[in-house]
Structures are given as C-alpha cells and as structure tokens.
C-alpha cells in the first residue's frame, strides 16, 4: 500500500536495492583486485549512502501529496536514472576487475540531485512570485462555501 500511495514501483525498487548491493560487493572486489585495503566502515558507509538515494523518489512523491501535484513521472525518471547509474557502475567495476585498472567514474546521481534542486528552486520562486503578485495563494476556503 505504501508503494502504491507513493507511486513507487515495488519491482523497480527491489531491483534497484539488489543492484546497489551487487555494485557495493563488486566495488569491494575491485578494491581488493587493485591492491587497496578494504575497510568495513567504508563498505558499510557506501551501502548506507546508496540506500539513502532511495529517499529521493520517496521525498518527491511525498512532496506532491499536500499540494495535489502528481510527481509520478518525475519519480519514475529518478528511479530509471538510479537503476542505470548502478548498472553503469557495475559495468565499470567488472571492467576494472578484469583489466586490473581504475576507470573514470561518472556521478549521475549527484548531477540528477543538482538538477532536481534547481527545478524545485524554480518552482518555489514561481509560487512565491505568484503569491506576491496576487496577494494570496488562491486556495478556496472549504468552510466558506459551507457557510453560504
């Protein structure tokens, strides 16, 4: 019920979590293969950070509820970006393990977060300008209609 309410696809979310654990495991194997010392704290910090990424679509879904705005398209795009980013990282880890070489990384998640923050700032600015120009939020008072 929570996933449906938040417009989150259960299967995609589950697969994303699996991909995150696979990527973390392969990242540890890659570190070992490249002769780096593997620290448990760094490993668990990496997994924790990845799981925090799942909060992005959850927060977007929740944000739309009180303002009656359907963020489901944005939520789906975010989930797709997260999945593709994990697959990209997994492929990079496999390449590094096979060829014993570090390859350049691309942080799609940080780029996505930055873009989302920019869009949210734009929406906030537009809403505040509308309030300033109209002198109110243009929200009808439900109680007022009942009194008439």
80-132: per-residue pLDDT in tens?
999 999 999 999 999 999 999 999 999 999 999 999 999 999 988 998 998 88
pLDDT band at 5 (very low <50, low <70, confident <90, very high): confident
43-94: per-residue pLDDT in tens?
889 889 998 999 999 999 999 888 888 889 999 999 999 999 999 999 999 9
pLDDT band at 137 (very low <50, low <70, confident <90, very high): low
pLDDT band at 138 (very low <50, low <70, confident <90, very high): low
The residue among 114, 62, 65, 53 whose CA lies nearest residue 89 is 53
What is the pLDDT, as a whole number, of residue 93? Answer: 97
Give the Å distances, CA to CA, from 112 to 12, 53, 107, 117: 18, 11, 9, 9
Cα distance between residue 58 and residue 56, in whole Å: 5
Cα distance between residue 13 and residue 19, in whole Å: 10
Can you tell me whether residue 34 is helix, strand or coil?
Answer: coil
Name residues whose C-beta falls within 8 Å of residue 141's C-beta, 6 or more positions apart in sequence. Answer: none
């Amino acid at each position: 019920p929570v996933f449906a309410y938040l417009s989150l696809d259960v299967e995609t979310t589950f697969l994303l979590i699996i991909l995150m654990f696979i990527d973390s495991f392969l990242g540890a194997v890659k570190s070992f293969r490249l002769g780096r010392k593997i620290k448990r704290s760094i490993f668990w910090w990496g997994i924790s950070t990845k799981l925090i990424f799942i909060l992005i679509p959850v927060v977007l879904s929740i944000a739309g509820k009180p303002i009656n705005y359907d963020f489901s398209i944005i939520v789906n795009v975010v989930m797709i970006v997260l999945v593709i980013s994990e697959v990209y990282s997994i492929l990079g880890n496999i390449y590094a393990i096979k060829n014993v070489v570090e390859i350049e990384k691309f942080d799609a998640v940080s780029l996505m977060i930055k873009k989302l923050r920019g869009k949210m700032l734009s929406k906030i600015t537009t809403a505040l300008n509308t309030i300033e120009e109209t002198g109110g939020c243009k929200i009808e008072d439900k109680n007022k209609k009942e009194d008439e």
